[in-house]
Structures are given as structure tokens and as C-alpha cells.
């Protein structure tokens, strides 16, 4: 299974991604992890990426594409892979498509997890964490016990303003790649609202056609 997993921040993609890579025995390839691994390994592309990141610049698409192709060429990705966080723009999607074609590969599915913005804002702004244990709570869905309620904190980037800024970036940059893949007939849209097990069931049905 060769797939791209797309979803807005706070949609629960991390939980579902972990289940999918276990089910299909494929590596979960996120750009952040990929960059860090390439830099740590000191590969030529990793050195190029590191130079850009150290200067505070975005890593050029051609370097990122090269790193992606290098990563999916490794042994653990021969049976498939999940790309998460890339591509983020239509030009990146087009470049990835060309690189995969040149390598004799093609994507099986682009999975799109859909959750309304207002619900995502409620999920994120309601999150609280216990600084002593690292446990995550939610003021509505999973409130902290009264004994620790006074010490839980809200992360700085869990405010409504920050959340809506991230969502706006997703809608303006990443969401437009979905029509690109819809034209290829490989997009599967899944309702991400509900308990994690319910969402997993919907994803499984979408991927198996059942």
C-alpha cells in the first residue's frame, strides 16, 4: 500500500496513522522525521537540507523530493509506505508524481481525513496537559481529576488564534492538492468525526472498498 495521508491539524491523523502503518506493515514517513534522519546520517541530501534549515530557509522542493525518493527506496518501504506532511503544495505533488513515475512507482491511494474547522478548534483549545506527568486532558471530553485541575496548563499554540492560523495555512496550501489526486481517481475521503475506533472502521472500509 503506497499512500499519502492528508488531514488538517487536530483531525486525529496521528492516531489513525499509527494504526494504518501497523495494519499494512509499512513505514510512516513524515518530512520532519525524514529530514532529521538524513541530517543525522550525513547523506549528501541531508547535508543540503541541514544547510538550508540552519539558515532558517525552507528546504527546496528538489531536495525534499530527493530525500523522499531516497527514503522510499529503503528496504522497509518496498512493500509500501505512508507519506505524512508531504506533499504540501500542488507543485510538490506534481514533482513527486514525476519522480515516482521515473522510478516506476505509483500511489495506490490518497486518504483525506475530514473534520470541520469549528470542531478542530474545540478539540485543540480544550486540550490541557499535566506538567508533572505529561498526561493530556480535555476540558469537555476528558476533564482532569479535581485533584490536579489546578495545575494543568494550556500549550501556547493551543489558542484559538493559533489554531485558526494553522487551519488557514492548511486550506490555502495543502487542501488544493486533493483535486490534483482526485483527477487520478485515487482519493478516498473519510469522515474523521467520532471515536477513534469508529474513524478507523470508516478508513478500513474506504481502503478495502467494503
CATH code of the domain containing 178: 3.40.50.300
168 assigned to some structural domain: yes
36 assigned to some structural domain: no
Angle in degrees, CA 170, 110, 45, rounded to 5: 75
Three cell numbers, residue 85? 506532511
128 assigned to some structural domain: yes
Supply the pLDDT for residue 193.
95
Binning pLDDT at 50, 70 and 90, where does residue 210 land? Answer: low
State the Cα–Cα distance between residues 92 and 62, nearest whole angstrom: 9
35 assigned to some structural domain: no
53 assigned to some structural domain: no
Which residues are the active-site residues? 13, 88, 127, 155, 166
Average pLDDT over residues 155-178: 92
Supply the pLDDT for residue 156.
86
Domain count for the chain, please give it.
Answer: 1
Supply the pLDDT for residue 41.
86
Residue pair 193/113 in contact (Cβ under 8 Å)? The answer is no
136 assigned to some structural domain: yes
pLDDT at 190 over 80: yes
Query: Shortest CA distance to 97 belongs to which of 125, 67, 69, 116?
Result: 69
48 assigned to some structural domain: no
22 assigned to some structural domain: yes
State the Cα–Cα distance between residues 125 and 139, nearest whole angstrom: 9
Structural domain that includes position 119: 2-26+79-208
Model confidence, pTM: 0.86
Which strand (E) or helix (H) includes residue 2?
Answer: strand 2-6
Amino acid at each position: 500500500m503506497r499512500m499519502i495521508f492528508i488531514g488538517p491539524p487536530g483531525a486525529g491523523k496521528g492516531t489513525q496513522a499509527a494504526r494504518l502503518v501497523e495494519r499494512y506493515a509499512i513505514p510512516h514517513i513524515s518530512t520532519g522525521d525524514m529530514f532529521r534522519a538524513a541530517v543525522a546520517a550525513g547523506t549528501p541530501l541531508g547535508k543540503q537540507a541541514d544547510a538550508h534549515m540552519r539558515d532558517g530557509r525552507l528546504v527546496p522542493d528538489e531536495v525534499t523530493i530527493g530525500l523522499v525518493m531516497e527514503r522510499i527506496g529503503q528496504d522497509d518501504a518496498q512493500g509500501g509506505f505512508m507519506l505524512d506532511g508531504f506533499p504540501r503544495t500542488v507543485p510538490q505533488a506534481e514533482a513527486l508524481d514525476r519522480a515516482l513515475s521515473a522510478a516506476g512507482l505509483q500511489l495506490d491511494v490518497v486518504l483525506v481525513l475530514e473534520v470541520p474547522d469549528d470542531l478542530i478548534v474545540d478539540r485543540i483549545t480544550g486540550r490541557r496537559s499535566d506538567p508533572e506527568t505529561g498526561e493530556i486532558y480535555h476540558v469537555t471530553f476528558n476533564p482532569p481529576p479535581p485533584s490536579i485541575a489546578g495545575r494543568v496548563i494550556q500549550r501556547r499554540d493551543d489558542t484559538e488564534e493559533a489554531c485558526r492560523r494553522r487551519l488557514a495555512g492548511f486550506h490555502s496550501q495543502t487542501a488544493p492538492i486533493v483535486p490534483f489526486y482526485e483527477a487520478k481517481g485515487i482519493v478516498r475521503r473519510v469522515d474523521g468525526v467520532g471515536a477513534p475506533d469508529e474513524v478507523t472502521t470508516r478508513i478500513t472500509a474506504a481502503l478495502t472498498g467494503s
